[in-house]
Amino acid sequence: MGSLSLAKLVLVPSDRRTCSLHALIRSASPGSMINKKKRIKVVGCCLENKNKKTSIDFSDPDWKTKYEEDFEKRFNIPHLTDFFPDSPAYPSTFCLRMRTPVSEEFAQGYPSDEEWHGYINNNDRVLLKVIRFSSPTSAGAECIDPDCTWVEQWIHRAGPREKIYFKPEDVKAAIITCGGLCPGLNDVIRQIVITLEIYGVKKIVGIPFGYRGFGNELAEIPLSRKVVQNVHLSGGSLLGVSRGGPNISDIVDSMQQRGINMLFVLGGNGTHAGADAIHNECRKRGLKVAVVGVPKTIDNDILLMDKTFGFDTAVEEAQRAINSAYIEAHSAYRGVGVVKLMGRSSGFIAMQAALASGQIDICLIPEVPFELHGPHGVLKHLKYLLETKGSAVICVAEGAGQNFLEKTNAKDASGNTVLGDIGVHIQQEIKKYFKELGDPADVKYIDPTYMIRACRANASDGILCTVLGQNAVHGAFAGYSGITVGICNTHYVYLPIPEVISYPRTVDPNSRMWHRCLTSTGQPDFI
């Protein structure tokens, strides 16, 4: 991006919610803020989706209208009729007015003497942003232009439609779970199966071990309400998980051979990228297939959504580790507890766990740079804490402080960079620092990663998983494909997959939530 004149500002909103001017200015390099010609050079705003760069000329009096039109196009969700205009629509077989089974004559659906008003109109929308910021300098401001003009951004409401585009007796639905484990996987699987059966689907299978199950031609797992009735009472995934898998063409070949025409994909950003590619390949081949994603990431790093399933449970389980670290530290002479929590690029778990516990003195996340040594470093503050409190507890996200560790080019099966262990590094640096001072600290290190992600979902996540699973099925039967389902401003919505996988969602250091965390810990800037 080039220099931007104050007389004719052109901002490039890269986060699909748009970025704040304040964030733009903060992200500029110190030497390029404002020069003698009163021009601002913007180095970057978050991370751009480089395939969909959108420039706005604010000198155009119609810029707001054009932006709203562009937003509506981007967030229009793909439908089968976009590719198969002659696709017939049928009366929905999902009706809760009467609980009579589907009749032999499909077109009759669930007979009812009264019209049921439980359907969602295709034109129903949910407002993406609900705060009207008056200034770009407001905490957490997300502004499109320098004046923080209010621009309405509407996205599609999720739920059952009155017309469906698949006959239940012709559907073979498949469910896959990809990536790592996450609390709630079984809850989502269970609810997808139950809702499919309510529509009248008889052929439901699980593909074992994620996308790998398509390549290895592993035996399908037949699913029914009887099979999944109690799976939500335990953690893990009934279907198994894995990273990586065959190429997209081979996956679609396998789907054709198996006769799968509804695919429900549970996974994170990488998994959703695969789901979008499968959707596009099916369209290229002229296959009438619905591909619907359910965002699964314990890190809570999916764009545009309030939260993803498993996150609340992870924060709750993290409390056990933090409390253990606190007890160990508080009970020892000059005790220090270090807890490493999940969060490759986003520090949401560490931030929320610190807030919830009230026992954290220092919270370190990937989004906020810090120094370990020096007059303003973490170790200097830790020394102050031991002198004044006698003990301290540190919470660090796994992706924080990677600049202190030796970099490797190693990748996991999903293509993610293998991170160094920042928790162990901090533990060693603390011991070394205080030993050199001649007054050693008693350091206890806890890494609860696999304990957190392997447990069953709590009540909050259980509800979220249930509704996400139901809405995934509603979306598929409504004829939508290449979409994912999520919760936005407490309402459930459908979003086009490309808009939510551009880059990971991260903690805004200028947000009120991070400010609340700093208020709770009392920590200074470590720079």
User: How many CB atoms lie under 10 A from the CB of residue 65?
Assistant: 11
Is 212 a known ligand-binding residue?
no
CA separation, residue 394 to residues 100, 198, 322, 363 (Å): 57, 49, 9, 6
For 39, list phi and psi in degrees, rounded to 5.
Answer: -115, 145
Is 490 a known ligand-binding residue?
no
Is 452 a known ligand-binding residue?
yes
Q: How far apart are CA 61 and CA 48, in angstroms?
A: 25
Is 180 a known ligand-binding residue?
yes
Reduced to 3 DSSP states, what percent helix, strand and coil does the chain have, rounded to the nearest 5?
35, 15, 50
3-state secondary structure of 331: helix
Burial group, residue 370, by CB count within 10 angstroms (0-12, 13-18, 19+):
buried
DSSP of 423-489: HHHHHHHHHHHHHHHTS--EEEEE--HHHHHTSPP-HHHHHHHHHHHHHHHHHHHTTB-SEEEEEET
Is 298 a known ligand-binding residue?
yes
Is 236 a known ligand-binding residue?
no
* Residue 271, both tokens: 């998994």
Closest among 165, 176, 245 to 204, alpha carbons compared: 176
Is 243 a known ligand-binding residue?
yes
Is 343 a known ligand-binding residue?
yes
* Residue 415, both tokens: 């293509």
Is 99 a known ligand-binding residue?
no
Is 436 a known ligand-binding residue?
no
3-state secondary structure of 264: strand
Is 278 a known ligand-binding residue?
no
Q: Are 183 and 314 in contact (CB under 8 A)?
A: yes
Is 269 a known ligand-binding residue?
yes
Q: Which of 15, 145, 299, 461 is catalytic?
A: 299
Please confirm, yes or no, whether 299 is among the known catalytic residues. Answer: yes
Is 358 a known ligand-binding residue?
no
Reported as type and span, the H/E element at residue 378 is: helix 378-388
Which residue matches tokens 């269970």?
Answer: 190
Is 270 a known ligand-binding residue?
yes
Is 274 a known ligand-binding residue?
no
Is 451 a known ligand-binding residue?
yes
Binding residues for ATP: 180, 243-244, 268-271
Binding residues: 180, 243-244, 268-271, 297-299, 342-344, 398, 450-453
Binding residues for substrate: 297-299, 342-344, 398, 450-453
> Which residues are tagged catalytic?
299
Binding residues for Mg(2+): 269
